[in-house]
């Protein structure tokens, strides 16, 4: 896990390495100051005893000056270390988010199915922030604290070994308490982050479907869902924090007990009641070192608090970073698609590798380049699954899918998907203008290219009629246009790529039959050499196709023209008759 995360440090290695060194410098300066103070106290003790002649004023001035220099250096090191830690941790978090996002872009649809959208958002935001805070504590406090502790112990051993033993016992006890707390708290934090995913899912779903919520007057229901999700986060946060609250009181209690031991033992050694040789100056130094040692332990406890919080986040981040695409790259990829020929040979497919039932079963289909092919079938018959194999959104479980005579697994992915374009069932537009959305198809397209693509999708006329024309802002998700207009813009965006194969997954369901016919006519006129595969529920959208494939429970029920299927395929005939009766009933009304 640590190795995976540290790969994202990259250009911030220098501040990440320099920060601990600077913090060591600060800790050393803080250790030297009490040591210098002992010399001053020794001289002042002579003055208090009346030995004025033996007091060396220049010595006091020298050590006082050295203390000021050390304090000033500690200040500089502290400020410098803070800046370095901030730069290193913020840069690390930035790289971590970029690495996660970049890896997400390599995912296949099968990989994406392993994570919910809400979970990915939580991992990229909240989880990375937790790891960032822990990283900053590690390179700053978690280095400074042990140096303070070890240095103070060494100096204390030099003064009085018994005192060092007190510190050692206290540190061991606190270490046990901190370790137990971390072990106990981790499962609660892990569960809490999963509840964060649920919370984000509720917010995302509610905001996405806000119009539906309001139209059905379900605001109170959504508020209740949000309250429940937020309550779950609260519950596990409280469970975790209850455990962590034990740490600081234990540290504070230990500090007071140790101070009592130091003052009691040290004062008795000073006056000779207990065997030992501790001068008043050394006792003062011991008190200061005890504060430094125990503050160091407190810093370690705080750092481990952040680390225990971030461990669950780190595990979740690594899951995203370590997820590898299920679509391996070919060793010698093909960079050219010759034509729009599509062949399915013995194709079977299941979304899960260990699934008992396959979505598609032993399909064999040949589609010639330039053909218009319709696909019809009941919901769940495998229509979308079938066409998703052509641009390699998923890989087949058995058999092969070929485009232009070459297995899709042998193509360079960008080459394949630039030549096999799929207009998805759910039409998605992005914030920005009409032109900006169309240029997703081709960033370098000319205005004439844009207009030609819109003509193919019968979108030119309504696009020109919009305020500002192609510069019209569509709003987030294309909320400023109707469903049918959105579909036509998505078709235009796809045709701008000038693909060899274009797939329409029920992409004209929101337009009327007249516009649907106009789109098919325009595609036939302007893109005669492009293979067009159309999934539709309306037979009217398919009956002019060169061939129609009828799917039934993942198997081919029939292939043929509209006329042939009416005569030979019962499923097709039933759909046709039910739709004609429906149309007839509407006309009678």
Instruction: Specify the pLDDT at position 351.
Output: 84
Instruction: Specify the pLDDT at position 537.
Output: 84
Q: What are phi and psi of 372, to 5 degrees?
A: -105, 120
How far is Cα 404 from Cα 411, in angstroms, rounded to an integer? 11
Instruction: Specify the pLDDT at position 41.
Output: 77
Chain center to CA of 441: 26
Residues 6+ apart with CB under 8 A from 242: none
Q: Is the dihedral of CA 239, 241, 244, 249 positive or negative?
A: negative
Residue with tokens 């392993």: 114
- Residue 380, CA distances (Å) to 367, 560, 570 in order: 23, 21, 18
Instruction: Specify the pLDDT at position 272.
Output: 63
How far is Cα 547 from Cα 9, in angstroms, rounded to an integer? 56
pLDDT tens digits in sequence order for the chain, 589 residues long: 888 898 999 999 999 999 999 998 988 888 888 878 877 777 777 665 655 555 667 888 888 899 899 999 999 999 999 999 999 999 999 999 999 999 998 888 888 888 888 888 888 988 899 899 889 988 888 888 778 777 777 877 777 777 777 777 877 887 788 778 878 887 888 888 788 888 888 888 887 788 788 888 888 888 898 899 899 889 888 888 888 787 778 777 877 787 788 778 777 777 766 655 677 777 777 777 777 777 777 777 777 777 777 888 888 899 999 988 888 888 899 999 999 999 999 999 988 766 678 899 999 999 999 999 999 988 888 898 999 999 998 899 899 999 999 999 999 999 999 999 988 877 788 888 999 999 988 888 888 889 988 988 888 888 888 898 889 988 877 778 888 888 889 989 998 888 999 999 887 777 778 888 888 888 888 888 899 999 988 888 888 899 999 999 889 999 999 999 999 999 999 989 888 874 544 433 3
What is the DSSP secondary-structure string of 214-233?
Answer: HHTT-HHHHHHHHHHHHHHH
- 3-state secondary structure labels for all residues of 577-589: HHHHHHHHHHHHC
Contact by Cβ (8 Å): 133, 89: yes
Pairing between β-strand 501-505 and β-strand 531-535 as defined by DSSP bridges: parallel
Both structure tokens of 194: 């999963």
How far is Cα 584 from Cα 589, in angstroms, rounded to an integer? 9
Contact by Cβ (8 Å): 473, 355: no
Residues 6+ apart with CB under 8 A from 72: none
């Amino acid at each position: 896990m640590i190795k995976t995360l540290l790969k994202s440090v990259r250009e911030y290695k220098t501040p990440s390495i320099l920060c601990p060194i600077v913090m060591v410098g600060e800790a050393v300066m803080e250790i030297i100051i009490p040591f210098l103070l002992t010399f001053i106290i020794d001289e002042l003790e002579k003055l208090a005893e009346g030995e004025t002649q033996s007091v060396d004023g220049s010595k006091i001035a020298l050590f006082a000056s050295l203390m000021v220099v050390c304090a000033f250096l500690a200040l500089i090191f502290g400020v410098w270390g803070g800046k370095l830690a901030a730069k290193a941790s913020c840069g690390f978090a930035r790289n971590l988010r970029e690495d996660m996002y970049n890896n997400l872009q390599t995912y296949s649809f099968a990989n994406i199915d392993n994570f919910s959208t809400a979970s990915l958002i939580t991992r990229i935001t909240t989880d990375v922030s937790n790891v960032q805070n822990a990283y900053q504590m590690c390179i700053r406090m978690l280095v400074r604290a042990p140096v303070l502790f070890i240095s103070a112990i060494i100096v204390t051993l030099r003064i009085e070994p018994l005192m060092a033993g007190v510190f050692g016992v206290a540190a061991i006890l606190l270490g046990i308490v901190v370790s137990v707390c971390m072990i106990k708290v981790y499962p609660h934090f892990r569960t809490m982050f999963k509840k964060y995913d649920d919370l984000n899912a509720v917010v995302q779903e509610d905001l996405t479907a806000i119009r539906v919520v309001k139209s059905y007057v379900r605001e109170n229901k959504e508020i209740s869902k949000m309250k429940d999700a937020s309550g779950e986060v609260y519950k596990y946060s409280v469970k975790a924090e209850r455990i962590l609250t034990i740490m600081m009181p234990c540290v504070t209690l230990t500090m007071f007990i140790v101070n009592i031991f130091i003052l009691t033992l040290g004062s008795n050694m000073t006056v000779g009641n207990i065997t030992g040789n501790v001068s008043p100056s050394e006792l003062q130094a011991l008190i200061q070192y005890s504060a430094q040692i125990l503050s160091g332990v407190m810093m370690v406890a705080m750092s481990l608090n952040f680390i225990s919080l971030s461990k669950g986040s780190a595990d979740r981040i690594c899951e995203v970073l370590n997820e590898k695409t299920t679509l391996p790259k070919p060793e010698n990829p093909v960079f050219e698609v010759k034509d729009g020929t599509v062949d399915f040979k013995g194709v079977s497919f299941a979304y899960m590798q260990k699934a008992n039932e396959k979505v598609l079963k032993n399909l064999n289909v040949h589609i010639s380049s330039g053909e218009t092919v319709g696909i019809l079938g009941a919901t769940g018959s495998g229509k979308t699954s079938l066409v998703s194999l052509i641009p390699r959104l998923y890989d087949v479980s058995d058999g092969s899918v070929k485009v232009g005579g070459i297995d899709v697994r042998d193509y360079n992915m960008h080459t394949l998907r630039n030549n096999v374009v799929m207009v998805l069932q759910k039409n998605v537009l992005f914030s920005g203008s009409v032109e900006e959305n169309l240029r997703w198809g081709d960033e370098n397209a000319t205005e004439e290219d844009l207009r030609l693509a819109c003509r193919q999708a019968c979108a030119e006329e309504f696009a020109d009629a919009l305020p500002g024309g192609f510069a019209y802002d569509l709003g987030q998700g294309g909320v400023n246009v109707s469903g049918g207009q959105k579909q036509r813009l998505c078709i235009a965006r796809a045709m701008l790529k000038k693909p060899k194969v274009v797939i329409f997954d029920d992409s004209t369901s929101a337009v009327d039959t007249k516009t649907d016919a106009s789109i098919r006519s325009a595609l036939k006129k302007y893109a005669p050499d492009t293979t067009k595969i159309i999934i539709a529920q309306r037979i009217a959208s398919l009956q002019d196709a060169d061939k129609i494939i009828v799917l039934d429970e993942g198997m081919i029920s029939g292939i043929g023209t509209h006329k042939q299927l009416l005569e030979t395929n019962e499923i097709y005939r039933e759909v046709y008759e039910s739709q004609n009766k429906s149309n007839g009933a509407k006309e009678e009304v």
